[in-house]
Amino acid sequence: MRTLILKTASNYLLPVLLVFSIFILLRGHYLPGGGFVGGLIAAIAFVLHAFANGLDNTKGLLRFHPGFLMPVGLGLAFFSGLTPVLFFDDPFMTGLWFPEPFPVIGSVGSALFFDIGVYLVVIGVTLTIIFTISESA
């Protein structure tokens, strides 16, 4: 099912959805949002692209297998929890924060890196599952 409208729209929607997913990711510390939802939105962006342009084009766009994002994300989340143990002798998962908030992003702490890890894992898992199913279908 190839439609011109969806194809044109998806090219514009992909970057918009990705930016939106990052917005949701950053918003998540105090407000609804976070890595999980953000990751799902980002995955949906690619799924939409795959619907409109075919699976092979989306894979070409990604350049690497989405499953690779799983260990990367897990590793990031793991080290965000491990940093306080290694460098500050605080218990595992203790929140560490930069003293000054950054412009635009706001306060940055180890929790953000944990969330980015979740974000990557969710994209990786969702895309791997959907790509595998649509390949075998």
Partner 1 sequence: MTQQLILYPLLLQLFLAILLMFFWRKISAQRIISMIGSLIHLAVSIGVFAYIWNHGTQTVQAGDWEAPFGITFIADTFAATMVLLTSIAGLAVSIFSSGSVISDRLRFGYFPIFHFLLLGLTGAFLTGDIFNLYVWFEIIIISSFVLITIGGEKAQLEGAVKYFTLNFLASMIFLTAIAVLYGLTGSLNMADLAGKVAAVENRALVEIDAILFLIAFGIKSALFPLYFWLPASYHTPPSAVSAIFGGLLTKVGVYALIRVFTLIFVGDVLLDQILLVLAIFTLFSGALGALVQNNIRKVFSYLIICHIGYMIIGLGMFTEVAIAGAIFYLIHDILVKTNLFMMSGLIYRITGSNSMRALGGFYANYPKLSLLLFIPLFSLVGIPPLSGFWPKISLITAAFESESYWSLAAIIFASFITLVVISKLWAEVFWKDVQEIPARPKFRYFHKIRNIKRIQIVVPIVFLSLVSLYVGFGAEHIQILSARISSELMDSQQYIDAVLNSQKTQ
Q: Which is nearer to partner 1, 89 or 135 (CB)?
A: 89
Q: Report whether 28 contacts 115 (CB < 8 A).
A: yes
Residue 137 CB, shortest distance to partner 1, in Å, is: 18
Residue 90 CB, shortest distance to partner 1, in Å, is: 6
Residue 24 CB, shortest distance to partner 1, in Å, is: 24
Report the interface residues with partner 1, using CB under 8 A.
67, 70-71, 74-75, 78, 82, 85, 89-95
- What is residue 10's three-state secondary structure? helix
Q: Which is nearer to partner 1, 61 or 85 (CB)?
A: 85
Q: Which is nearer to partner 1, 23 or 78 (CB)?
A: 78
- How far is the C-alpha of 88 from the C-alpha of 11, rounded, in Å? 46
Q: Which is nearer to partner 1, 24 or 70 (CB)?
A: 70
The dihedral sign for the CA sequence 102, 69, 61, 128: negative
- What is residue 91's three-state secondary structure? coil
Question: CA 92 → CA 20, 30, 65, 81, 110, distances in Å?
Answer: 31, 22, 31, 6, 11
Residue 77 CB, shortest distance to partner 1, in Å, is: 9
